[in-house]
Amino acid sequence: MKKIALLLKVVKNDLRVLWYALRHPDRPVWLMPAFALVALYAIDPFNFAVPFVGIVDDGVLVPMALHLMVRFLPTELQRLRRR
């Protein structure tokens, strides 16, 4: 249970950093399309066809993708992450 709480905390922080970076004028060009692809993957209709596999898949791959996007941001945009 503690690992799930830690994962949720990391995902929440990553989403906050990405929200800040998406609104920042100096964001990288790749950020908007990458975030859109992750969002589309998270709401993919395949999740409705095979519900359990889709939930497990989203619970692992989406947080990993979000964390990788934050790691590839320039350091000035990662400042919020360190707080």
Per residue in 27-40, pLDDT tens? 999 999 999 998 88
Does 56 score more than 90 pLDDT?
no
| Contact present, 67 and 12 (Cβ < 8 Å) | no
pLDDT reported for residue 49: 61
pLDDT reported for residue 30: 95
Residue 73: name the closest of 27, 33, 39 by CA. 27
- Provide the pLDDT confidence category of residue 53 given band limits of 50, 70 and 90: low
pTM: 0.78
